Amino acid sequence: MRHAMKAPFIALAVALLPSPALAETLISNVNGIQVGADGKLQHFGSVLIGDDGRVEAVISTASPRVKKYDQLIDGGGRTLLPGFIDAHGHVLGLGFSALQLDLVGTSSLEDLQNRLKDYAAAHPDARWIVGRGWNQELWPVKKFPTAADLDAVVPDRPVVLERVDGHAVVANSAAMKAAGVTGATQAPSGGRIEDGLFVDNATELVTKAVPEPTEAEYDRAFAKAQQILLGYGITSVGSMSTALDDWNAMKRAGESGRLRVRFMVYADELKLLAEVPKPTPWLFGDHLRMVGIKFYADGALGSRGAWLKQPYADKLDTRGLRFHSDEELLKLADTAASHGFQIATHAIGDAANAQVISVYEQMSKEYGADRRWRIEHFQVVDPADIPRLKPAGIIASMQPTHQTSDRLMAEARLGPDRLNGAYAWRTVEKLGIPLAFGTDFPVESPNPFPGLSAAISRQDMNGQPPGGWIPSERLDFSQALAAYTRGAAYAGFADERIGSLEPGKWADFVIVDRDPSTADQQSLARIEVLQTWIAGKKAWERPSSAAAPERGK
């Protein structure tokens, strides 16, 4: 156990070594909480873990008399939960964005230059320096940065820094040279260039020159993503829209023993079909599996790309973007399903959701039960369409923090009369539709606790709005926790392996700093993970948390 991190292939280790390197572990004296198969909260006091990293027993008492074990860990009365499963995230996106230069909150041009200088010094191997998040409106002198401002700090390597809203980038001279931009370059229509600043349609002139990441950069981003996920207690992820380079980075990690989190992988449309023609078995000790294919039925609500049944309330000449005809989407889904893949389709607007439901209804007739068709986001839905999910075996894969982030925007886009089926978790739950929660990281933080808090309160981190937004759609704590554990495992065809602590399932769990089942909404959102365990081994620990006492409730 002392070198737990170095032995990720438990099954292999046990099979090859003459005597087991690992041993039975009893974790006693915990405030254990999980959701049972009946949907009710279960409390337990200890967990016995086998030498294969799977749960042997979940025991109600805190100091049980167990016949034998090789190692005893006193949980100190802390709260222990099953590992969280984020049903919908973008793994490499999280890693790459975390590795970029973060310029959010820069207070002046000098502040931006200092952060750029520090980042350049800390990343001598980065061929290009890519950053984002500056906003000159927050600076004392509200002037856009220029190429010369960046050249003064980094003259030798290309630098491109995106504004906080993504509508402008500033480039240094080396970046413009690499992109072939000269004084004679004309901005395309809808764009503008001035002193190294590229606005709107002109941004591509320079961003297209940023080189594709190397394998080593993919590996670094993947490692970073795993580290972030473990720190938030995420032990498994539904990896959405996974590109071939992402999949290859995951496989390389598996082959060299660097897979830590478990990944249920959904390929980016049909792009990987030539390389991965059918779902893989679970690989690398149940850490990696290509299980499905993700499609898109429409865009997003913020940019008015979500496809609505009626025009946008704040732009009456559009109903958004329809990505496929009914026949096209059915053909895509049928191709994927005929190869044995599970299907997950992005649908935000009520027209897109109705279309996807119709496609899945036809598919369920053709392919029979338990294909677990998934709708990703299921955000704005005609209340008349929601009861159609259950009979067709459709799963709603939703993100509670989108509701708190989108609330005011959704009201503007939809008007007051079309919010009834929006982010309608309780309605979904009451109809017995399988519900899986996630965050869509890096769009939102992968931290599951603000999501749990939003799910039971319909309020954001600051308690807004008072009483909650459409409070009839609030969930109970047990329902919200179930969607983040059991529900997300079911949604990824992994419910026999993960999602709860039960004999035979993996001992994936977290120890947190207070009891979420009794915490108020505000403190629930701020719960911190102290330790994350995967397959019965400590995979992550909050720095210096070892001696910290349990916080007051």
In the complex with Zn ion, the residue whose CB is nearer, 240 or 337, is: 240
Question: Minimal distance in Å, beta carbon 480 to Zn ion?
Answer: 20
CA distance 365 to 243: 30
| Sheet arrangement for strand 509-512 | 41-44, 31-35, 79-82, 509-512, 529-534, 537-541
Is residue 203 exposed (0-12), middle (13-18) or buried (19+ Cβ within 10 Å)? buried
The single residue among 52, 219, 440, 515 that binds Zn ion, judged by CB under 5 A, is 440
Question: Minimal distance in Å, beta carbon 283 to Zn ion?
Answer: 23
- Whether residue 46 contacts residue 27, with contact meaning beta carbons closer than 8 Å, is answered with yes
In the complex with Zn ion, the residue whose CB is nearer, 244 or 443, is: 443
Binding mask 384-423 for Zn ion (x = CB under 5 A): ----------------------------------------
User: Taking contact as CB under 5 A, which single stretch among the options 114-122, 167-175, 203-211, 239-247 is the one that binds Zn ion?
Assistant: 239-247
- Whether residue 347 contacts residue 306, with contact meaning beta carbons closer than 8 Å, is answered with no
- As a three-state string, the secondary structure of 174-205 is HHHHHHCCCCCCCCCCCEEEECCEEEECCHHH
> Both tokens of residue 284?
């690398």
CA distance 390 to 395: 8
Question: Minimal distance in Å, beta carbon 422 to Zn ion?
Answer: 18
CA distance 475 to 481: 10
In the complex with Zn ion, the residue whose CB is nearer, 23 or 409, is: 409
User: Taking contact as CB under 5 A, which single stretch among the options 140-148, 328-336, 437-445, 465-473 is the one that binds Zn ion?
Assistant: 437-445
In the complex with Zn ion, the residue whose CB is nearer, 91 or 240, is: 240
CA distance 496 to 265: 17
DSSP output for 62-74: SS---S--SEEEE
Binding mask 315-334 for Zn ion (x = CB under 5 A): --------------------
User: Taking contact as CB under 5 A, which single stretch among the options 257-265, 394-402, 432-440, 447-455 is the one that binds Zn ion?
Assistant: 432-440
User: Taking contact as CB under 5 A, which single stretch among the options 137-145, 248-256, 364-372, 436-444 is the one that binds Zn ion?
Assistant: 436-444
Question: Minimal distance in Å, beta carbon 96 to Zn ion?
Answer: 15
- Check binding of 460 to Zn ion (CB under 5 A): no
To the nearest 5 percent, what fractions of the chain are helix, strand and coil? 30, 25, 45
Using alpha carbons only, what angle is made at residue 227 by residues 480 and 35, rounded to the nearest 5 degrees? 20
In the complex with Zn ion, the residue whose CB is nearer, 240 or 428, is: 240
In the complex with Zn ion, the residue whose CB is nearer, 86 or 495, is: 86
CA distance 81 to 134: 38
In the complex with Zn ion, the residue whose CB is nearer, 266 or 425, is: 266
Size of the site for Zn ion (CB under 5 A): 2
Beta strands 159-163; 168-171: pairing state: antiparallel
User: Taking contact as CB under 5 A, which single stretch among the options 5-13, 419-427, 439-447, 491-499 is the one that binds Zn ion?
Assistant: 439-447
CA distance 258 to 329: 37
Closest residue by beta carbon to Zn ion: 440
Beta strands 159-163; 129-134: pairing state: parallel
In the complex with Zn ion, the residue whose CB is nearer, 440 or 495, is: 440
User: Taking contact as CB under 5 A, which single stretch among the options 258-266, 440-448, 507-515, 519-527 is the one that binds Zn ion?
Assistant: 440-448
Question: Minimal distance in Å, beta carbon 88 to Zn ion?
Answer: 6
Amino acid at 374: R
User: Taking contact as CB under 5 A, which single stretch among the options 240-248, 276-284, 388-396, 544-552 is the one that binds Zn ion?
Assistant: 240-248
In the complex with Zn ion, the residue whose CB is nearer, 185 or 405, is: 405
User: Taking contact as CB under 5 A, which single stretch among the options 145-153, 160-168, 170-178, 434-442 is the one that binds Zn ion?
Assistant: 434-442
In the complex with Zn ion, the residue whose CB is nearer, 149 or 440, is: 440
In the complex with Zn ion, the residue whose CB is nearer, 355 or 399, is: 399
Reading phi first (left if > 0) and then psi (alpha if -120 to 50, else beta), residue 170 is in beta
Tracing tokens 């240094």 back to the chain, one arrives at: 172
Using alpha carbons only, what angle is made at residue 96 by residues 410 and 508, rounded to the nearest 5 degrees? 85
Question: Minimal distance in Å, beta carbon 123 to Zn ion?
Answer: 28
Question: Minimal distance in Å, beta carbon 440 to Zn ion?
Answer: 4
What is the phi/psi pair of residue 56, to 5°? -100, -40
Question: Minimal distance in Å, beta carbon 15 to Zn ion?
Answer: 38
> Both tokens of residue 55?
């749960």
Contacts to Zn ion by CB under 5 A:
240, 440
